Amino acid sequence: MTPILRFLPAPMLSLILLVTWLLMVRSVTLGQLLLGVILAIGIPLLTRQFWLPFPRVKHPLKLFRFLLCVLGDIVVANLHVSLLILTPKREPHPGFVEYPLQVKDRLAITLLANTITMTPGTVSTNIRLDQTSLLIHVLDMKDEQKLIKEIHERYERPLREIFEC
């Protein structure tokens, strides 16, 4: 382990903490910058024991594209759910689907579960502790296999490519 990594166990987390701090105090003076750097180095060091080892982000560009895609899907999800709410005549067909997980990394699974909840018509309900499947509640289910395939193509594969696991 290089000396720099010893003081920065999670460079991304430190960067995010620094930016968050500067946004919260709304000023970029030298004093605040210094305080932010101290916090950004100190907090990861103090909480290091609680963290699982961070997986390395192999393709930051792909992560960015994935985030944009999810952001777009969130808007679509909102419109979709709003439409379902506003047309009471059209009865939705809810259902449970067990989704087989292929990603193994915990952070990737967390990201996938969060993405599923934020995107059209699905809420992740339960994850098996052996991390093999995710139970999803679907608001308006038409085709189970199609849904599983869609989630796999759209979200799980990019996540696997980003973290390479």
Partner 1 sequence: MTFNMIAEAAVSLLLVLGGLFAFVGSLGMLQFKDFFMRLHSPTKGTTLGIGCVLIASMIYFSVSQREPHVQELLITLFLFITAPVTGHMLAKTGLHMHLRFITGTRGSLPELMDEDVGQSRVARPLRPKPPGGLKTRREQLLKSRGR
Q: Which of 1, 4, 23, 28 binds partner 1 (CB under 8 A)?
A: 23
Report the alpha-carbon distance of residue 50 to residue 153 in Å, rounded. 32
Interaction between residue 135 and partner 1 (CB under 8 A): yes
Interaction between residue 95 and partner 1 (CB under 8 A): yes
Interaction between residue 77 and partner 1 (CB under 8 A): yes
Query: Residue 70's CB: how many other CB atoms inside 10 A?
Result: 18
Q: Find the length of the chain.
A: 165
Continuous H helices in 26-118: 30-46, 60-86, 106-118
Span interacting with partner 1, options 7-15, 29-37, 48-56, 136-144, rule CB under 8 A? 136-144
Sign of CA dihedral 102, 98, 107, 62: positive
Contact 109, 103 (CB under 8 A): yes
Interaction between residue 82 and partner 1 (CB under 8 A): yes
Sign of CA dihedral 77, 114, 135, 151: positive
| Interface map 1-20 toward partner 1 (x if CB under 8 A) | -------------------x
Nearer to partner 1, 5 or 100 (CB): 100
Interaction between residue 100 and partner 1 (CB under 8 A): no
Coil, helix or strand at residue 132: coil
Nearer to partner 1, 23 or 61 (CB): 23
Q: Which of 57, 60, 104, 126 binds partner 1 (CB under 8 A)?
A: 126
Extract the tokens encoding 136.
């999803």
Binding site for partner 1 (CB under 8 A): 20, 23-24, 26, 74-75, 77-79, 81-82, 84-86, 88, 91-98, 113-114, 117-118, 121, 123-126, 128-129, 135, 137-139, 141, 144
